[in-house]
Amino acid sequence: MEKTSYSEYVAAVDKLKQQHGRIETNNFMLADKLKTIMETDAGLIVKSSRCVFLAMLEHNAFYRLYYHAAGSDGILEGLRQIDGQYDKKLPLVCTITGKEAYVEGVVPTFYNEGYTLRKRTRRFDNSNIKMAKEPENVVVEFACEQDAEEISEMLRGNFDIYSELVPTQSEIAQNAKKEQIAIVRRDGKVAALKYFDVQNSAIYGIFDYVRPEYRSDLIFLAIAPFISKALEKRGIVITRAYGWRDMDNKRLNQFSKKLNSIPQDVVLYTVMR
């Protein structure tokens, strides 16, 4: 594995596409994030006539794998090349993304190479979700860059950095600049937050969190209306809303049905070795 820049990585992927036409990838959701990260951090690349694998260090704790490959044979070839060249002691993590049938067909290749399942997540359509009554006298605002450290501590302390695509502190600061983190402050700290992304006419909820001591106040119910009004003021019309839920959390999935949150055929399977 050798160091690479974003431009070199893109050139290798383009060459692969020219050779094989249609290729498989787990990078269609994370391409913009990856470009931003690689402006300052080099990745490690493995490439052949059938695949391009990129490994990026995250949270100084593990390497996340991004692949482009000509079918499952290309994925297998890349994994075996990595196995022969990777001499780091940090874990390798890969999130396979796509329609459920595709993902179910790909993950055995990883299992056979010693990877184990870390988490399964499904996308839900929240466009017609039933909203509870908005609480009164709750002040919601957008987080600022100075909140990034506190928000990072909240996310790292309550979400799995390996399987839930937890952003780094610098990524959080960038998302705050875009006004894509809505928060409620209480007692001089961030009491509740919604971390989200807006693409075209769709909003993607990524992380929701309320500190335990404030959950009985139902302050979180004020955040969604605040975001909706803020986007309307910018002239952004949201026609779709999505969120992600743990496929193996039965209680959460039952609750989603009551809210009219509709499961979709798009999943994330995170594997680790």
Mean pLDDT by 10 residues, the chain (273 residues): 90 94 80 75 90 92 94 94 85 94 96 96 86 80 97 96 92 95 95 94 93 92 92 91 90 75 93 96
What three-state secondary structure class fits 3?
Answer: strand
Structure tokens at 86: 């990777």
- Could you tell me the two tokens for 198? 């807006």
**In the chain, count of helices (H) and strands (E)?**
8, 13
Residue type for position 265: D
Q: Please name which of 35, 8, 13 lies closest in space to residue 24, comparing C-alpha atoms.
A: 13
Cα–Cα separations (whole angstroms), residue 190 to 147, 148, 202, 232: 8, 11, 26, 25
Question: pLDDT value at position 28?
Answer: 67
Query: Comparing C-alpha atoms, which of 133, 99, 124, 122 is closest to residue 256?
Result: 124
- CA-nearest of 233, 132, 222 to 184 is 222
Q: What pLDDT score was predicted for residue 131?
A: 67
On the 0-12 / 13-18 / 19+ scale of CB atoms within 10 A, 179 is: middle
At residue 89, the pLDDT reads 80
- In sequence order, the 6+-apart residues with CB closer than 8 A to the CB of 246 are 119, 120, 121, 252
Identify the pLDDT of residue 29. 59
Report how far residue 43's alpha carbon sits from residue 152's, in angstroms, rounded to the nearest whole number.
Answer: 23
Residue recorded with tokens 């499904």: 122
Tokens describing residue 41:
């951090």
pLDDT of residue 256: 74
Where, residue-wise, is CATH 3.40.630.30 in the chain?
140-238
Classify domain 140-238 by CATH number.
3.40.630.30
Q: In the numeric block, which tokens belong to residue 38?
A: 């690689």
Q: Is 86 helix (H, G, I), strand (E, B) or coil?
A: coil
Q: What pLDDT is attached to residue 79?
A: 95
Distance (Å, whole) CA 99 – CA 105: 10
